[in-house]
Amino acid sequence: MDQLKPSPANSRPLTPISFIERAATVYADCPSIVYGSATFTWSETYLRCLKIASTLSSLGVSRGDVVSVVAPNIPAMYELHFAIPMAGAVLNTVNIRLNAHTISVILSHADSKLVFVDYHSESVVLEAISLFPPNSPRPRLVLIAEGAESRALKLGFVSDYDAVVSNGDPNFDWVRPESEWDPLTLNYTSGTTSTPKGVIHSHRGTFLVAIDSLMAWSVPKEAVYLWTLPMFHANGWSYTWGVAAMGGTNVCLRKFDAAAIYAAIHNYHVTHMCGAPVVLSMLTNGNSKPLEKPVEILTAGAPPPAAVLLRTESLGFVVSHGYGLTETGGIVICCTWKKKWNMLPAAERARLKARQGVRTPAMAGIDVIDEETGMSVKRDGKTLGEVVLSGGCVMLGYLKDADATAKALKRGWFFTGDVGVMHPDGYLEIKDRSKDVIISGGENLSSVEVESVLYGHPAVNEAAVVARPDEFWGETPCAFLSFKEGVKQKPTEKEVIEYCRERMPRYMVPRTVVFMAELPKTSTGKIQKFVLKEAAKAMGSSNISKL
Amino acid sequence: MDQLKPSPANSRPLTPISFIERAATVYADCPSIVYGSATFTWSETYLRCLKIASTLSSLGVSRGDVVSVVAPNIPAMYELHFAIPMAGAVLNTVNIRLNAHTISVILSHADSKLVFVDYHSESVVLEAISLFPPNSPRPRLVLIAEGAESRALKLGFVSDYDAVVSNGDPNFDWVRPESEWDPLTLNYTSGTTSTPKGVIHSHRGTFLVAIDSLMAWSVPKEAVYLWTLPMFHANGWSYTWGVAAMGGTNVCLRKFDAAAIYAAIHNYHVTHMCGAPVVLSMLTNGNSKPLEKPVEILTAGAPPPAAVLLRTESLGFVVSHGYGLTETGGIVICCTWKKKWNMLPAAERARLKARQGVRTPAMAGIDVIDEETGMSVKRDGKTLGEVVLSGGCVMLGYLKDADATAKALKRGWFFTGDVGVMHPDGYLEIKDRSKDVIISGGENLSSVEVESVLYGHPAVNEAAVVARPDEFWGETPCAFLSFKEGVKQKPTEKEVIEYCRERMPRYMVPRTVVFMAELPKTSTGKIQKFVLKEAAKAMGSSNISKL
């Protein structure tokens, strides 16, 4: 058979940006975003994105430049998921809970050319910029003022968001990727060292994870999607673009509690939402009441505890459970539910649903492999191994970090660092995450990062931070410390916590501090973290009052 | 930003074969195929496919070889959609309604190495092989005997299907594509000339159209899919692979009428089915009764007439309407329904649904362009132009026909040859198909092909074949003829039909023959087909009794 080659008719680069172009036609007059009293249609959102992209181009942003956003789940944040790539630039969303130092490290490492800053993050970003090394180039700043009287120019911002939109050209010919492997996003993980790693996803990878996630969760056309998951978390697990593909409605909330969620569900007829298990806990605490219609909720980050799961489902939520990492751009393992499991007793259903599951349809493979032999572990639900993934949703690599990229992507697999087992039915279950990651309220935090701050305390000899189970947050950081010999002024627990507060984002601060004469160590002198993990577990839930 | 390159972890070739590999794990013990009293599970189907692929390899089938199948919607036909590519070969399904001559042309043009032949097609395929030129290589034949006493070896077949399965190795390491652009399928169109054209789709293209079609129609997990659309029609519009992606159940029927469809819907709780509008007509004629639960039905090939649409919907079918060609591997334009249209009066709903619609989410673009200027026509629902398509679902090209490929794929678009308009809301409506295609009962037939046979009749001077509307079949071929001067024995209508029956498949034979002194022509002597089309339309429905 002759070898036919791809031609432009069948090989236009795959990109999720095509979804909004299509939505602007198909769902032109259907609601794209609702936010308080404001409602936009898909044709309006598309035109606004074109205008923003054109202004970015006028400001000198060009193909391959990084443009950052520090904002919560507001309409601007959603629009920028399209508008920044439509200027040919790479979208870099930044967690609003980070402190100035970390934001400074990220913006500098990313060589960010321009940063959109929500007015609530104005001071932390200005401080972050002030921390840049003296002669290094600084990004320009645009203030998202949300209708407040604009103080943008006074504060050193080049413009405000409304002006960026209104000065733009709605007929702008958006900058299409030259190759589907061109970068689309840059997301920083808290990582395993104190330097965050910049995860790069291509247009192709993002397109694939977006449609894969829609299929895996069976999201229908015109779904009404409530943004409880931060868009700065792996771009809202790709549903930012996914909602456009299905012509759905994005219900945006600047911040939320249970009452705000229930009100949004009622007012907008919400059909879908995502969130860490902490969101499920929130929904089932206090004044929860049964839903009028079922709402699909997808959770990941940690398995939902059986009690929380059953309470959530009894209210009318349909809970799906999945797994993904920043490096996969969204959920790529999903506990695909089988109809016949509905007939099982509740406890058995909860046990099955706590498993992370199977690969999503567009992924090529998942496995649990023995770290020494590299072979698949037995499918016995017991033998531990490292979780590896392969397929189009896997990142291109880490920015300016060829070593870390080579370590993560090798032998045709992405090595997650997470430890799991494979059950006899082919469903995977995570048993232990990368040694040093703690997930608190859906935020990943690196125990190594916290430890490095603790080691900076003049009285501290040894420090180890592990996860302590928490009914509400899932986990909280728990620090074990020993003091240097001869230290006279030993700090109290409160003083250690205060010391940390001044030096790291609030969500990373240990909630419990335990002092020991010496930390348990192996014969070669390595701190035995698993012993400390057991100790933290034995303490039970930290019962910390909510933030 | 540094230029990161794809690596094996994120760039394994996209292929729909991965769907069955996944289904064998996720849906291992769920039903894959039901057929009469037989039921298979996904793990059984996958093992059978591995065994078939291994036997094909043992028989010498290797990467890039074409393997053909002449069979209706039986389990073997479904399995071969996976098993043949799993041997590295290219799947070529052949319409069982073709005559020996056409099958011979196809098998020979395709250089088919091996043909799976359903026992009902045994004689026509043996005849087709006998028509091969004397010294040209003939494909080997495998008989699908369906449990009937095997006469395979006696008749010159190398094996029968049961032996191919049972002799195979379930641990076979299936042959993965080296590139996602490797060919996966070869489907022949009736085309616009008397030589059929062989449409080649890649693994990537087929993967994309399969998931695109699932999204566009919102097919959920574990759907129960009834095979009323022939799998040899563009591989069942890609739902062959799509059902595996969702772990659905394939309900296979060797042949069907309304009673068989209603029985299957009732017995197996069918949720989804596809078919030409003739299937809708069939369901609403005679003893139809309201469904117990709604059934989704996707139709394409011709817009469903308003009366048929309303009758079908009143029974509980939810009708979706789309458009595609063999060259797109499935439906790539879909009349995406908006919730708010449900509030419109029935006649208005029917008018909106008769439009072909908008591009599916994974396609890059559709347009209607002026044939002379190449520019988009006005979005006024009136201005005619050629329908062009672009995106990952478009074929690689035509086999051994670089000219036709270059003519169809140019300037970044696939030129469909179909004529349409663009409505102000961006929905496309086909107004006239390629000048010479008639769609009768869901089968495309080429008027040029029928004309070339008619021109072979010794008495015929001029021949033109156009579509005549038909309530049941949608359209039937209508021939307009003039005789040579001085012909003494002018044939009757019946004799002309008899002449055609001997020379072409039954579905291509004109149902109406009109004799004229001279056919209407342009000043340059070209037959004015549009005049004849109007004349055929004016005759009204042909009211031919069903075959």
**In terms of CA atoms, which chain B residue is nearest residue A212?**
B211
Instruction: Report yes or no: A366 at the B interface, CB cutoff 8 Å.
Output: no
Write out the residue limits of the CATH 3.40.50.12780 domain(s) in chain A.
Answer: 42-203
Picking from B171-175, B392-396, B468-472, which range would have the lowest pLDDT averaged per residue? Answer: B468-472
| Residue B3 confidence class, pLDDT cut points 50, 70, 90 | confident
- Residue B257, pLDDT above cutoff 60: yes
The two three-digit tokens of residue A239, written as one number: 């549903």
pTM: 0.88
pLDDT, averaged across chain A: 91
Percent of chain A, pLDDT > 70? 95
Q: What is the mean pLDDT of residues A497-513?
A: 91
> What CATH number does domain A42-203 carry, 3.10.580.10, 3.10.20.740, 3.30.70.3270, 3.40.50.12780?
3.40.50.12780
Torsion angle of the four alpha carbons B272, B276, B277, B283, in this order, in degrees rounded to the nearest 10: -50
- Residue B513, pLDDT above cutoff 70: yes
pLDDT given for residue A442 in this prediction: 81
Write out the residue limits of the CATH 3.30.300.30 domain(s) in chain A.
Answer: 437-538
Each residue's pLDDT tens digit, B443-476: 877 787 888 788 889 898 888 999 998 888 888 9
| Residue A192 confidence class, pLDDT cut points 50, 70, 90 | very low
CA Rg value for chain A: 23
Closest CA to B414 of B375, B448, B365, B373: B365
DSSP-derived secondary structure letter, B521: B
Query: What's the CATH code, domain B17-27+38-202?
Result: 3.40.50.12780
Question: Homologous superfamily of A437-538 in CATH?
Answer: ANL, C-terminal domain (3.30.300.30)
Contact between B295 and B317 (Cβ < 8 Å): yes
Could you write out the DSSP letters of every residue in B321-335? Answer: EEEEEGGGTEEEEE-
Q: CA-to-CA distance for B415 and A429, rounded, in angstroms?
A: 49
Q: From the list A19, A25, A409, which residue is nearest B358 (CB)?
A: A25
Taking the CA of residue A526 and the nearest CA in chain B, the distance in Å comes to 33
- Residue A147, pLDDT above cutoff 80: no
Q: Please provide residue A429's backbone torsions phi and psi, each rounded to the nearest 5 degrees.
A: -135, 130
Write out the residue limits of the CATH 3.40.50.12780 domain(s) in chain B.
Answer: 17-27+38-202, 276-394+402-432
Query: What's the CATH code, domain B438-538?
Result: 3.30.300.30
The two three-digit tokens of residue B546, written as one number: 């069903």
Three-state DSSP class for A331? Answer: strand
Q: From the list A11, A26, A425, which residue is nearest B336 (CB)?
A: A26
Window A:5-24, CB contacts with B under 8 Å = 5-12, 14, 18-19, 22
Chain A residue numbers with beta carbons less than 8 Å from the beta carbon of B18 are 364
What contacts A384, CB < 8 A, 6 or more positions away? Answer: A368, A377, A419, A420, A421, A431, A432
pLDDT given for residue B434 in this prediction: 66
Q: CA-to-CA distance for B338 and A41, rounded, in angstroms?
A: 14
- What is the 3-class SS of A149-191, one letter each residue? CCCCCCCCCCEEHHHHHHCCCCCCCCCCCCCCCCEEEEEEECC
- Residue A545, pLDDT above cutoff 50: no
Contact between A381 and A197 (Cβ < 8 Å): no
Q: CA-to-CA distance for A210 and A194, rounded, in angstroms?
A: 30
Window B:230-259, CB contacts with A under 8 Å = 245-247
What number of CA atoms fall less than 13 Å from residue B89's CA on the CB side?
A: 31
Q: CA-to-CA distance for B43 and B149, rounded, in angstroms?
A: 27
| Residue B546 confidence class, pLDDT cut points 50, 70, 90 | very low
Contact between A99 and A76 (Cβ < 8 Å): no
Taking the CA of residue A460 and the nearest CA in chain B, the distance in Å comes to 40
Q: What is the ipTM of this complex?
A: 0.87
Each residue's pLDDT tens digit, B477-511: 999 999 988 888 899 999 999 999 998 888 899 99
Three-state DSSP class for A248? Answer: coil
Q: What are the b/e assignments for B160-184, b being 16+ CB within 10 Å?
A: bbbbbbeebeeebebbbbeebbbbb
Three-state DSSP class for A461? Answer: strand
**In terms of CA atoms, which chain B residue is nearest residue A1?**
B64
| Residue A258 confidence class, pLDDT cut points 50, 70, 90 | very high
Instruction: Report yes or no: B407 at the A interface, CB cutoff 8 Å.
Output: no
- Residue A183, pLDDT above cutoff 80: yes
Q: Which CATH architecture has domain B276-394+402-432?
A: 3-Layer(aba) Sandwich (3.40)
Three-state DSSP class for A275? Answer: strand
Q: Please provide residue B155's backbone torsions phi and psi, each rounded to the nearest 5 degrees.
A: -85, 0
pLDDT given for residue A307 in this prediction: 83
DSSP-derived secondary structure letter, B376: B
In which element (H, E) is residue B17 found? Answer: helix B17-26
Task: Inspect the interface and report whether the beta carbons of B412 and A12 lie closer than 8 Å.
Answer: yes
Instruction: Report yes or no: B304 at the A interface, CB cutoff 8 Å.
Output: no
Could you write out the DSSP letters of every residue in B48-116? Answer: HHHHHHHHHHHTT--TT-EEEEE--SSHHHHHHHHHHHHTTPEEEE--TTS-HHHHHHHHHHTTEEEEE
